[in-house]
Structure formats: structure tokens, C-alpha cells
Amino acid sequence: MAKPQRVLVSGSTGLIGSALVPVLHAKGHTVVRLVRSRAEEKDDRVLWDPESGKLEGSALAGIDSVVHLAGESIAAGRWTEEEKRRILDSRARSTRLLCESLAALPELPRTMICASAMGYYGERSDEPLTEKEPPGEGFLCEVVREWEKASEPASQCGIRAVNLRFGIVLSQTGGTLGELLPLFRIGLGGPLAGGRQFFSWISIRDAVATIQFALDTATLSGPVNVVSPNPIRQREFARILGRVMNRPAWFNVPRWALRLRVGKEFADTILWSQRIVPEKLLASGYRFRHPDLEAALRDLLENHSSR
């Protein structure tokens, strides 16, 4: 068993962070949370303000590893220029501030796990995408490139840096699945714009387990695709979700309706086809809890388990 660590976690109340922290505690690790509000300050919490560049470096002394999950949701609303600036800054600026603060410590953490996203690849049709592929084009691709670039101060000073390119994380408590469940319950579930696009997903259990695996696997570094080894077309995802919920899945949402709802740029990004392969995880010996979509959905929705 790996030695217990003192782990700094940002974004600890988000979709992944809220599922990760209890698991780290159960593994015997001590969790220190990065928080933005003084009302949250306690002995196990460190205050920071990425917008103003404030983070007291001395408060990070004694940290063994870092899991950086903070970032503004890309689905908070239409992508106005102001919203796009916030999305980019919330990732690149916060990551650079954290990594530069870590690099300045007299005793460096061993590992820096930084969230990233499959948006790096852009629209790629049916092309299998490993970590070796170049980035795509579009706003979200730019965000992920800058996000990963911002972690370079950590790797340049000798900290093992891992950029986890998460696929669509499935959890009954939020995210994409959380938004779809109410629609399927009332019989309005179905494919998006025909559903031919590839849908690269990961269960919340595997998302959390992958972070733990990355903390424990010293040979893992750089970009890592965090997706099931079995991507599926979106129409098939809708069909399987409908079957698991015992609901119809025939209600097709056309592209124009999605554009009307969330704006053209965001809608077209939602409809990207990305057939992503978790090559590094498989080569490193990671064993997926949920390689199969139907089993994952049944575990999430029937057993009400997120860990």
C-alpha cells in the first residue's frame, strides 16, 4: 500500500472533487483544501485568490502532492466574450499561480495532478485519438492548450506533472448526466443532432480512481486521456440510458434548436465527435471499474453509488 500523503486539493466541492476527497481520506491521506472564502478557512484549508494572484506560499509547506481541479464551468451560459475570458482565466491563471507557488517552495511536492479536458482535440469525426495527437481548432482547444501550458512551472522544476484530459464525467449528482436525467424521466430523452458523433465518457468512480492511480504511479506524466476504453456514438448512449431508466429515447434535438438554446459556438462544441483512446492508462496497467456504459449507468442510477 502506498504511503499516506498530505494532498492539496483545489475544486474540492466540484463534481469530481466532492467524490475524490472522501476517497483520499479513506486511503489514509490528509487532505488540505484550497478555498477562496475566509469563511471556509480552517486548519485543513488554505486561502487563495487566483483573480488577484494571491496565494501564501508558506501555507503550502509540507504538501506531498497536489490535485488541481478548480475551473469555471464551460456550461454556465452562452459564450459571450466576457464568459470566454472567465473560462480561460479560471484555468490558465489559477494553474500558473499554483504551479509557480509550488516551484518556489524549498521542499517540492512530488506530484502535481492537474485537470484538463478532451476539448484539446476538437472536432475529429471517427479518428481514434491518443495522447500523441495534435490539438484541434476552436475556443475550447485554445483553453486546454493554455491550461496545460500553465502547469509547466511545476514540471520544469522537477515536480512530476500529470494533465488528466477528462472525458464526459458521468455522475448522478451533476454534470452532463445530471442534466439529462430529468429530460429522460419525462420521456424527452434522445440523441443530439442525430447522435452520430462519438461520445467519450468516464464514470465518476473511474474519474476518482484515475486520480488516485496517477498519485501512486510514478511513471505516469504529461497528458493522460481519462475516458472509458469503449467510446460510443451519442445516439447509442441515449438508447442505453433510456433502457436503464425504462424510458423512451426517441426525442431528437436538432442542431438548430441546440444553437438557439446555448448559442452557436457552444452548441457546435457540444456536438464535436471525439473518439478518444486512453492509451497511457491502459499501458500503465490501470484497470477500469466501468469499461462498459450500461454497467456504469446501472451502478450510478440503480445502486446510487458515486465512488
Q: Domain for residue 287, yes or no? A: yes
Which grid cell sits at 180? 439529462
State pLDDT tens for residues 181-211: 999 999 999 999 999 999 999 999 999 999 9
In terms of Cβ atoms closer than 10 Å to its own Cβ (0-12, 13-18, 19+), residue 83 is middle
Q: Domain for residue 307, yes or no? A: no
Q: Domain for residue 264, yes or no? A: yes
Q: Domain for residue 76, yes or no? A: yes
CATH for 159: 3.40.50.720
The whole-model pTM stands at: 0.94
Q: Domain for residue 1, yes or no? A: no
Q: What is the Cα–Cα distance from 209 to 113, expressed in whole angstroms?
A: 13
DSSP string, 133-182: SPP-SSHHHHHHHHHHHTTHHHHHTT-EEEEEEE-EEEBTTBHHHHHHHH
Q: Which residue has the cell 467524490?
A: 19
Q: Which residue has the cell 469525426?
A: 125
Enclosing domain of residue 260? 6-302
Q: Looking at the predicted structure, is the pLDDT value of residue 304 above 90?
A: no
State pLDDT tens for residues 63-120: 999 999 998 888 777 889 999 999 999 899 999 999 999 999 999 999 999 999 999 9
Q: Domain for residue 290, yes or no? A: yes
State how many domains the chain has.
Answer: 1
pLDDT at 306: 39
State pLDDT tens for residues 134-156: 999 999 999 999 999 999 999 99
